[in-house]
Amino acid sequence: MTGVKYSEERVEIISVKEGSNNIISCVVRSELIATTSLPGQFVTVQVNNRGAGCIPVLRRPFAISNVKKDRFEFIFDVVGRGTELLKKVLKEEKCLNILGPLGNGFDLKSEKKQKLLIAGGIGIAPVKRLVQYFSTTDCRTTLIWGNRNKSGFFDTDYFIDQNIKLLICTDDGSMGFEGNVVDLLESEIKNKNLNSMSDYDIFVVGPDPMMKAVCVSVGKRNTVCQVSLETPMACGMGVCQGCAVKKKNEEGYYLVCKDGPVFYSDKIIMN
Ligand SMILES: Cc1cc2nc3c(=O)[nH]c(=O)nc-3n(C[C@H](O)[C@H](O)[C@H](O)COP(=O)(O)OP(=O)(O)OC[C@H]3O[C@@H](n4cnc5c(N)ncnc54)[C@H](O)[C@@H]3O)c2cc1C
Ligand code: FES
């Protein structure tokens, strides 16, 4: 699961697309990240345009989404000071300072041919990279993507064009199945649209309560998932110890930035 060594780069901003609901997709040029990163790895981005040391000092972590030739995409939700500033910087600047690829990606060694991907909201960002990866294999991929309402979806055409089964749900029923991803998962299992959970490799990314609920549902069927944690980070490189997550059934902690962000659900205690 371990990737190659990271580097700090000043990368050219190729395109910026703003979707509904303050979601931004940015494509930048970085041959190193596009060609060496693994699905599930992330970058940290300097969100101010006045150089290191300026407020906010800390870089912000984002999943590496689609990769193409010497370019990669990251997708983010504007939720606070750092992402507000990044949105402004993307409008004003031609380059960004990026560090990566960081962390360990998903475990893709399994020989199971069925993949179940479950994304909540902006959790679709790393999942998009997984969809891209599995579309180059002979695996059969099902993607369940949930949002509070229809405005949370973006770039759905991309997923429709892939050779996958796409199942959409919204809490308010404004698009797709009415209910959350666990409701949809349970419904698909009950209606026998999905096989036994143990037939699938299962990957889950989204808010912690959603990932926890999926793991409970899948756990009842004696199956584990790979979850990608989005614990707030300071250094992103295993130095500050600020992103610890408790190990399950043993003493101690993992560092999400260095040991993760992807973990098997039976190895950690999720918040
Ligand atoms: C490995 C990793 C990959 C990530 N990938 C993505 C991605 O692809 N796209 C994306 O939109 N976001 C992603 N995130 C989350 C993203 O880094 C944060 O949303 C961002 O740093 C917030 O910065 P801010 O300054 O705008 O918000 P802040 O001002 O720091 O916080 C604003 C609000 O957001 C909450 N918040 C901040 N950080 C997080 C977090 N990590 N998780 C949940 N809530 C948070 C705060 O509690 C607060 O309520 C990822 C995080 C990690 C650790
Ligand atoms: S963020 Fe510093 S150790 Fe993980």
pLDDT at 2 exceeding the cut of 80? no
- Residues in contact with ligand 2 by the CB-under-6-Å rule are 233-236, 238-243, 255, 257
pLDDT digits (tens, 9 = 90+) for 152-202: 999 999 999 898 999 999 999 999 999 999 999 999 999 999 889 999 999
Ligand 1 centroid distance, CA of 83 (Å): 8
pLDDT grade, residue 55 (50/70/90)? low
Task: For ligand 1, say whether the CB of 59 is within 6 Å of any of its atoms.
Answer: no
CATH superfamily of 229-271: Dihydroorotate dehydrogenase, electron transfer subunit (2.10.240.10)
pLDDT digits (tens, 9 = 90+) for 78-127: 999 999 999 999 999 999 999 999 999 999 999 999 999 999 999 999 99
114-227: CATH topology is Rossmann fold (3.40.50)
Task: For ligand 1, say whether the CB of 82 is within 6 Å of any of its atoms.
Answer: yes
- CB-based contacts of 250: which residues, under 8 Å, 6+ apart? none
Q: Is the distance from CB of 45 to CB of 60 less than 8 angstroms?
A: yes
- Give the domain ranges of the chain: 7-102, 114-227, 229-271
Ligand 2 centroid distance, CA of 77 (Å): 21
What does the alpha-carbon distance between residue 150 and residue 168 come to, in Å, rounded to a whole number?
10
Orientation angle between helical segments 208-219 and 181-190, nearest 10 degrees: 20
Instruction: Give the mean pLDDT of the chain.
Output: 93
- CB-based contacts of 122: which residues, under 8 Å, 6+ apart? 23, 75, 76, 77
Please tell me the pTM assigned to this model: 0.94
Ligand 2 centroid distance, CA of 232 (Å): 9
Q: Is the distance from CB of 143 to CB of 134 less than 8 angstroms?
A: no
pLDDT grade, residue 65 (50/70/90)? very high
Q: Do β-strands 200-205 and 114-120 pair in parallel, antiparallel, or remain unpaired?
A: parallel
pLDDT grade, residue 271 (50/70/90)? confident
Ligand 2 centroid distance, CA of 206 (Å): 20
Q: Which atom of ligand 2 is nearest to the CA of 258?
A: 4
The CATH number for 7-102, chosen from 3.30.70.100, 3.40.33.10, 2.40.30.10, 3.40.50.300, is: 2.40.30.10
User: Among all ligands shown, which has an atom nearest to the Cα of 104?
Assistant: 1
